[in-house]
């Protein structure tokens, strides 16, 4: 349900469904992260889920770094919409 509402917001902005956009990918990773986090609160010793969570976090971090380099305005807007922390830059 949440994913469908975000798809409609993006499609209204771009007039097409662009599921390959960085914003959409970051949103899907963020929703998967929240699901896995709630799962790991119940099942603390599920190491395979912990590994999956770390992989998804890395993918999201790389996408956010890419977006930050290419278009800082879109990056700032996405960070504000999803209420996530800004990435650390070196």
Average pLDDT for consecutive 10-residue bins of the chain (90 residues)?
58 62 93 95 96 97 95 94 81
pLDDT for position 76: 94
What helix, strand, coil percent values describe the chain, rounded to 5? Answer: 75, 0, 25
Cα–Cα distances in angstroms (integers) from residue 84 to residues 1, 18, 29, 68, in the given order: 20, 22, 12, 14
Domain boundaries, the chain: 2-82
Options 1.10.287.10, 3.40.800.20, 3.40.50.10710, 3.40.50.12780; CATH for 2-82 is 1.10.287.10
Is-contact 30 56, C-beta < 8 A? no
Q: Around Cβ 22, how many Cβ atoms within 10 Å?
A: 17
Residue 15 pLDDT:
47
């Amino acid at each position: 349900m949440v994913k469908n509402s975000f798809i409609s917001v993006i499609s209204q902005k771009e007039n097409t469904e662009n599921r390959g956009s960085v914003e959409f990918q970051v949103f899907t990773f963020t929703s998967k992260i929240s699901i896995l986090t709630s799962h790991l609160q119940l099942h603390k010793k599920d190491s395979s889920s912990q590994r999956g969570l770390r992989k998804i976090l890395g993918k999201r971090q790389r996408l956010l770094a890419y977006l930050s380099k290419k278009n800082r305005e879109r990056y700032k807007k996405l960070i504000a919409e999803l209420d996530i922390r800004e990435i650390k830059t070196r």
